[in-house]
């Protein structure tokens, strides 16, 4: 039955004295009363009214009689602003001390730990609830919690992920043939797809933040970043398919041992990570890591008009070229000795891209804009007749001036 307004107001005010007086005036079973279809004791807990809850418990309320007490309080409480300042979960602890089972199941067979994921939009509160439940005896290894980590890594509830990992959940256990790290990567890809299809959808931005944290937690606890899906893809491969995915996530996976020499399918061919990195405009550090992992410089791809990395990077990723040349003598030699089908060195691409720093580097290394190809045409002559000729010649002049300065 509905609780009297006076009792509701006393609970909402978290006034233990008034609650005790109202309960005493009512007499009978206090657990028979509800506020908005919620037993008054659970309403007090959900609103983080700890003093009111203590008064109700002292008056004989028995929250353990409600099998889904913890589930309801976690869900309703995390969605209420009252929990914003109650991350210590005092009321949840009071319910457990009063006999509520941390391993109890609701009518759907879900655990209280699973209910934490229902409020993943409030990650700090969800994480605090999960940590308390496990500390008070909730077992994340029970059968009903199987696959919970896979679900958690696909949400902002990084605190729940951490609680499950610290509670002993296997970070490499499969669920439907997929390990948690792969679940995280797949969720990230799907989020970017949603945002690409709907510019007003911020799923990509949100997922990039929480997936990076969830990857960090998985790696911290020893997750294997080389495990592959049934199609043969490991997490880094999935992440490299995501246009615009933060470089920091890719670097984290590389640091954790993900194979860096692999390829992804693009435009009907398999393209290596370094070539994709050029198209994405990644840092020189990333290029060096991928080169060291075994990515080639000289493989041509139809995706890039038949061009290879060594041909095109000077135009589209000059900082990568500078980093590679300074990082590896072998890479430097590859750039300096390469000649395109027109007989031009990468200096032509650096000039075409108007990259003065790289132009200066190549000139200093011995390349020349006056070197002629088999037809007797120099880079200078060829580009002087091209689009943006004035801007390109100005960049070359700036590079030559810097060389003689």
Q: How far apart are CA 404 and CA 383, in angstroms?
A: 22
Q: Which of 311, 335, 359 is the last residue of a domain?
A: 335
354 plus 402 within the same structural domain = yes
347 plus 316 within the same structural domain = no
The full DSSP string for 237-271 is HHHHTSTT--HHHHHHHHHTT--SS-EEEETTEEE
Confidence of residue 86 (pLDDT cuts 50, 70, 90): low
Task: Calculate the dihedral angle through the C-alpha atoms of 180, 183, 188, 189, rounding to the nearest 10 degrees.
Answer: 150
Confidence of residue 61 (pLDDT cuts 50, 70, 90): very high
Residue 82 lies in a domain: no
Q: Which of 309, 335, 361 is the last residue of a domain?
A: 335
Mean pLDDT of 173-180: 90
Residue 270 lies in a domain: yes
Domain count, the chain: 2
Mean pLDDT of 163-182: 93
Averaged pLDDT score across all residues of the chain: 93
Task: Calculate the dihedral angle through the C-alpha atoms of 123, 151, 212, 137, rounding to the nearest 10 degrees.
Answer: 60
Count of Cβ atoms closer than 10 Å to residue 125 Cβ: 24
105, β-bridge pairs: 111
Q: How far apart are CA 190 and CA 187, in angstroms?
A: 5
Task: Give, as one character, the DSSP assignment of residue 83.
Answer: G
Return the SS3 of 101.
Answer: coil
350 plus 395 within the same structural domain = yes
pLDDT tens sequence across 101-120: 999 999 899 999 999 998 88
pLDDT tens sequence across 191-244: 999 999 998 999 999 999 999 999 999 999 999 999 998 888 999 999 999 999
Look up the CATH number of the domain holding residue 391.
Answer: 1.25.40
Q: How far apart are CA 204 and CA 219, in angstroms?
A: 22
331 plus 264 within the same structural domain = yes
pTM: 0.88
pLDDT at residue 78, rounded to an integer: 65
Asked whether 210 and 158 are in contact (CB, 8 A), the reply is yes
pLDDT at residue 311, rounded to an integer: 94
pLDDT tens sequence across 126-152: 899 999 999 999 999 999 999 999 999
Count of Cβ atoms closer than 10 Å to residue 31 Cβ: 18
Q: Which of 310, 335, 360 is the last residue of a domain?
A: 335
How many CA atoms, within 13 angstroms, populate the side-chain half-sphere of residue 83?
Answer: 27
Residue 195: φ, ψ to 5°? -70, -35
367 plus 393 within the same structural domain = yes
Residue 69 lies in a domain: no
385 plus 324 within the same structural domain = no
**H or E stretch covering 272:** strand 269-272
348 plus 330 within the same structural domain = no
More confident: 217 or 76? 217
Asked whether 82 and 47 are in contact (CB, 8 A), the reply is yes
Residue 266 lies in a domain: yes
Of 11-15, 329-333, 381-385, give the range with the top mean pLDDT. 329-333
More confident: 22 or 119? 22
Collect all residues with Cβ–Cβ distance below 8 Å to 16 and sequence separation of at least 6.
51, 52, 54, 55
Confidence of residue 41 (pLDDT cuts 50, 70, 90): very high
Q: Which two tokens stand for residue 392?
A: 């390109």
Residue 377 lies in a domain: yes
pLDDT at residue 162, rounded to an integer: 96
Q: How far apart are CA 8 and CA 15, in angstroms?
A: 11
279 plus 328 within the same structural domain = yes
pLDDT at residue 21, rounded to an integer: 95
Asked whether 387 and 393 are in contact (CB, 8 A), the reply is no
Range of the domain at 313: 260-335
Asked whether 119 and 126 are in contact (CB, 8 A), the reply is yes
Residue 82 has pLDDT above 60, yes or no: no
Confidence of residue 123 (pLDDT cuts 50, 70, 90): confident
Confidence of residue 80 (pLDDT cuts 50, 70, 90): low
Confidence of residue 85 (pLDDT cuts 50, 70, 90): low
Q: Which two tokens stand for residue 134?
A: 């496990």
Residue 300 lies in a domain: yes
pLDDT tens sequence across 347-401: 999 999 999 999 999 999 999 999 999 999 999 999 999 889 999 999 999 999 9
264 plus 299 within the same structural domain = yes
Residue 318 lies in a domain: yes
Residue 321 lies in a domain: yes
pLDDT > 90 in the chain, percent: 83
pLDDT at residue 122, rounded to an integer: 84
282 plus 318 within the same structural domain = yes
Question: Residue for token digits 């060389």?
Answer: 403
């Amino acid at each position: 039955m509905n609780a009297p307004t006076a009792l509701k107001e006393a609970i909402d005010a978290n006034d233990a004295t008034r609650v005790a007086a109202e309960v005493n005036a009512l007499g009978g079973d206090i657990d028979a009363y509800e506020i908005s279809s919620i037993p008054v004791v659970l309403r007090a807990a959900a609103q983080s009214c700890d003093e009111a809850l203590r008064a109700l418990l002292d008056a004989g309320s028995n929250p353990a009689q409600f099998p889904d007490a913890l589930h309801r309080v976690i869900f309703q409480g995390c969605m209420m602003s009252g929990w914003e300042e109650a991350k210590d979960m005092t009321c949840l602890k009071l319910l457990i001390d009063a006999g509520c089972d941390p391993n109890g199941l609701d009518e759907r067979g879900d655990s209280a730990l699973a209910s934490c994921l229902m409020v993943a939009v409030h990650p700090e509160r969800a994480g605090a609830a999960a940590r308390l439940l496990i500390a008070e005896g909730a077992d994340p290894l029970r059968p009903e919690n199987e696959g919970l980590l896979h679900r958690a890594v696909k949400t902002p509830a990084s605190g729940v992920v951490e609680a499950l990992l610290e509670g002993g959940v296997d970070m490499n256990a499969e669920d439907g043939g997929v390990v948690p790290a792969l679940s995280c990567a797949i969720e990230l890809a799907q989020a970017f797809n949603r945002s690409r299809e709907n510019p007003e959808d911020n799923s990509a931005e949100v997922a990039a933040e929480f997936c990076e944290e969830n990857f960090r937690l998985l790696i911290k606890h020893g997750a294997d970043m080389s495990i592959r899906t049934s199609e043969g893809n490991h997490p880094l491969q999935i992440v490299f398919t995501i246009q615009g995915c933060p470089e920091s996530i890719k670097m984290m996976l590389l640091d954790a041992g993900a194979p860096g020499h692999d390829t992804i399918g693009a435009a009907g061919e398999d393209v290596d990570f370094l070539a994709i990195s050029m198209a994405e405009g990644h840092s020189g550090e990333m290029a060096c890591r991928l080169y060291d992992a075994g990515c080639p410089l000289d493989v041509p791809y139809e995706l890039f008009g038949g061009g290879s990395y060594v041909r095109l990077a000077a135009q589209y990723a000059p900082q990568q070229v500078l980093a590679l040349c300074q990082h590896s003598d072998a890479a430097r030699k590859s750039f300096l000795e390469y000649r395109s089908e027109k007989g031009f060195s990468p200096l032509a691409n650096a000039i075409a891209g108007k990259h003065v720093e790289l132009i200066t580097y190549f000139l200093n290394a011995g390349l020349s804009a006056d070197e002629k190809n088999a037809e007797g045409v120099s880079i200078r002559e060829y580009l002087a007749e091209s689009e943006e000729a004035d801007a390109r010649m100005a960049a070359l002049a700036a590079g030559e001036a810097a060389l003689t300065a």
